[in-house]
Amino acid sequence: MIIYPDLELRKGRLVNLIRNRIESPVIYDLDPVEAAHDLARQGAAWLHVVDLDAVFNEGENNDIIRKIIRTASCSVQVGGGIRSMEKVHGWMDAGAARVVIATAAVKYPHFVMAAATAYPDSVVVSIDARGGRVLVDGWTEATIFTPGDFVHQFDNVGLAAIIYTDIDRDEDFPGSTMAHATSLAAKIRTPVIVSGVVKTLDDISTLSYLPNIAGAITSRALFGGAFTFAQANAIAVERHAQAAPLL
């Protein structure tokens, strides 16, 4: 399992959104580029970088993201406002290892298929779900789709992964568990990266035992001091070594 540190950018700063509220982000007193370098030094193989300004059509943080891609010695997965092939081409040309398509995947499935055809194993679809339904437009609009029904259409198009955000778990909804993520991962062949579920090192340990969970994105717990990347990665690496077949 891969641990993906989540660098969310808002007006050039490293932030995290509580309940996805752009108007009141948690702001971390860290330079995003330096944070990326530090995570790479701790052993991060991947970074998940999201341009929140692009998501909410309030500008962009392209220069910072390009600098992270150029100077951090790890692979970068870029998301945020990727709604056209022009954006996909732009980020791939800039050196991104993957692009992440979110709301546009729900509204324009053919766009995902075109992107995956152009860049096999380099496109990720990100879905957010609450109460068993996929949400779009910054968690403001519920669709008729269940996560499982929605992602099945992409199971044979060459995606690198599906990112699944369990909003109930992220918002500490009473009774929320990892069951939704487990169920989704069991229904599809595409690897699943979970988001919003990691709050402790025990959560990482639990996830590392679940079939088809290929990774976990972490931001609030990581930058809030619940654990370091090195601590989280050690658990993921240890479990990977235990699961490796003997030759």
Residue 142's CATH number = 3.20.20.70
**Residue (of 133, 16, 86, 134) closest to 125 by Cα position:** 134
Residue 231 CB neighbour total at 10 angstroms: 14
Q: Is 198 helix (H, G, I), strand (E, B) or coil?
A: coil
**Residue (of 156, 180, 152, 155) closest to 166 by Cα position:** 180
Would you name the residues annotated as active-site residues?
8, 128
Domain that residue 70 falls in: 2-243
Total domain count, the chain: 1
Question: What integer pLDDT is reported at residue 168 of this predicted model?
Answer: 82
Question: What integer pLDDT is reported at residue 213 of this predicted model?
Answer: 95
Q: What is the pLDDT along the chain (247 residues), one digit of tens a residue?
A: 999 999 999 999 999 988 777 777 899 999 999 999 999 999 999 999 999 999 989 999 999 999 999 999 999 999 999 999 999 999 999 999 999 999 999 999 999 999 999 999 999 999 999 888 999 887 788 899 999 999 999 988 999 999 999 888 877 675 567 888 899 999 899 999 999 889 999 999 999 999 999 999 999 999 999 999 999 999 998 866 666 554 4
Question: What integer pLDDT is reported at residue 246 of this predicted model?
Answer: 44
Question: What integer pLDDT is reported at residue 240 of this predicted model?
Answer: 61
Question: What integer pLDDT is reported at residue 17 of this predicted model?
Answer: 87
Question: What integer pLDDT is reported at residue 247 of this predicted model?
Answer: 46
